[in-house]
Chains A and B, each alone.
Chain A
Amino acid sequence: MSYVHPEYLVDTEWVAAHLNDASVRIIESDEDPLLYAIGHIPGAVQVDWFSTLQHPLRRDFLTREKFEEVNSNLGIANDATVVFYGDKSNWFACYALWLFQYYGHQNVKIMNGGRLKWEKENRPLVKEVAAYAKTTYSAKEADKSIRAFRDEVLEQSNAKKPLVDVRSPKEYSGELISMPNYPQEGATRGGHIPGAVSIPWAQAVNEADSTFKTPEELRALYEGKNVKADGEVIAYCRIGERSSLTWFVLKYLLGYPNVKNYDGSWTEWGNLVDAPIEK
């Protein structure tokens, strides 16, 4: 058994062999914004989930026009193969990939294992910031089929369709409002969306080298909790970054046709007046 869409994943060896491939752009996207400056894969550019990808004022992502400008400045062409990698088991790499897909970039991949595996294999890291000639980039209309908003999350919950809560067990139970060891802020209520099953995101990756688990393991993990390919699935976490990794796993590694990431996640739901909560 293999992943359903293995073309969305490359290994470190593939990246090492394509460092000078003009049709490939490698993007580092980390939780810690300084890691890129400390050392990155030769030729890689940086996209920061916070300062690059967020709207400067509203709680939303950057606009389509701004996204075009970011890509143009990074020298990314519309037909480029964009490979994402990052720290923390590729959390933020998956988040960036999801957003690139949201604005219609087709050819995207995750480097399996991310920064951790690359470092463990003693592959080169450089400080020199890569610069490329500007491109003319045109993004597509935002693809709402991969992004869930609060009203449809409520409909999903009422219809008892699958919702996957990928936060830690204590966040799911409502004991904590944020991850253990993270600041406990952001929501005034704890718990989970009624009907959501708890499948913490980290269960999809191998701790030792940050690679994704095998297709068999992944299938057993999600199907075992009744999250199956034939339904519409919505994944959420606290701000939508951990759930974008789960979205990637369900959408591409397991090939579920209809998966959305609810980026409003618990920091919206746990503050939303009148929203139903289960503990």
Chain B
Amino acid sequence: MLLPPKLQELVDDFASMTREEKLETLIAYAESFPSLPDWLKGERAKMEAVPECMTPVFLFGDKQPDGGVRFHFDIPPQSPTVRGLASILANGLNGCAPEEILTVPADFFLPMNLQEAVSQQRLHGFSGVLAHMKHEAIKLIDKK
């Protein structure tokens, strides 16, 4: 089964990259990590915590008028790898309907072959972030 189109595109891109290109791309994603909007600053209690990550990670899904979800992340700058991975997920899934987000399998990233660039343990954080994005999506299904 295919992933949501933008995420599928990202997975395919990574699959064709060398180890160095993967690292460079991950760095680029970490550096373009969007800052938290003002209305979510200091509001970690409102956000979904991701305890599977090696770093304090908080995320929030916001349903847009068109029904798509927009994700916001609060991740410290000292953790660029986690920022990079979260950025990939946000880029791949922002704008998708909650139902669409729920179809993404937990191991969607295996074809990206990221374990040659980052340690296996860290990839568990990847699945962790996705699982909690899904929690947010479930909460948003019936929300207008």
Q: Interface on A for B, CB 8 Å cutoff?
A: 31-35, 37-38, 50-51, 87, 115-116, 180-183, 185
Residues of B91-122 at the interface with A, using a CB-CB cut-off of 8 Å, are 117-119, 121
Contacts of A182 in B (CB 8 A): 52, 54, 121
Residue of A nearest to B56 (CB): A181
- Contact yes or no, A87 B81, CB < 8 A: no
Contacts of B78 in A (CB 8 A): 32, 35, 87, 115-116
Contacts of B26 in A (CB 8 A): 34
Q: A32-B80, A87-B78 in contact; A183/B124 too (CB < 8 A)?
A: yes
- Contact yes or no, A181 B51, CB < 8 A: yes
With A and B bound together, what is the CA distance between A51 and B118 in angstroms?
8
With A and B bound together, what is the CA distance between A32 and B125 in angstroms?
13
Q: Quick check: is B23 within 8 A (CB to CB) of the other chain?
A: yes
Contact count A vs B, C-beta below 8 Å: 50
- Contact yes or no, A50 B51, CB < 8 A: no
Q: Quick check: is B140 within 8 A (CB to CB) of the other chain?
A: no
Contacts of B89 in A (CB 8 A): none
With A and B bound together, what is the CA distance between A51 and B114 in angstroms?
12
With A and B bound together, what is the CA distance between A185 and B119 in angstroms?
14
- Contact yes or no, A38 B124, CB < 8 A: no
- Contact yes or no, B81 A50, CB < 8 A: no
- Contact yes or no, B121 A38, CB < 8 A: no
Q: A37-B23, A37-B27 are in contact. List 4 more A-B contacts (CB 8 A).
A: A32-B55, A34-B26, A34-B84, A50-B118
With A and B bound together, what is the CA distance between A115 and B121 in angstroms?
22
With A and B bound together, what is the CA distance between A183 and B51 in angstroms?
8
- Contact yes or no, B80 A34, CB < 8 A: yes
Candidate in B23, B78, B82, B119 with the most chain A CB atoms within 10 angstroms:
B78
- Contact yes or no, B119 A34, CB < 8 A: no
In the A-B complex, the 4 residue pairs with the closest CB atoms? A183-B124, A34-B80, A50-B119, A34-B81
With A and B bound together, what is the CA distance between A51 and B26 in angstroms?
16
Residue of A nearest to B125 (CB): A183
Contacts of B81 in A (CB 8 A): 32-34
Q: Quick check: is B53 within 8 A (CB to CB) of the other chain?
A: yes
Candidate in A32, A37, A38 with the most chain B CB atoms within 10 angstroms:
A32
Residue of B nearest to A178 (CB): B121
Q: A181-B51, A183-B128 in contact; A34/B30 too (CB < 8 A)?
A: yes
Contacts of A33 in B (CB 8 A): 23, 81, 117-119
- Contact yes or no, A38 B30, CB < 8 A: yes
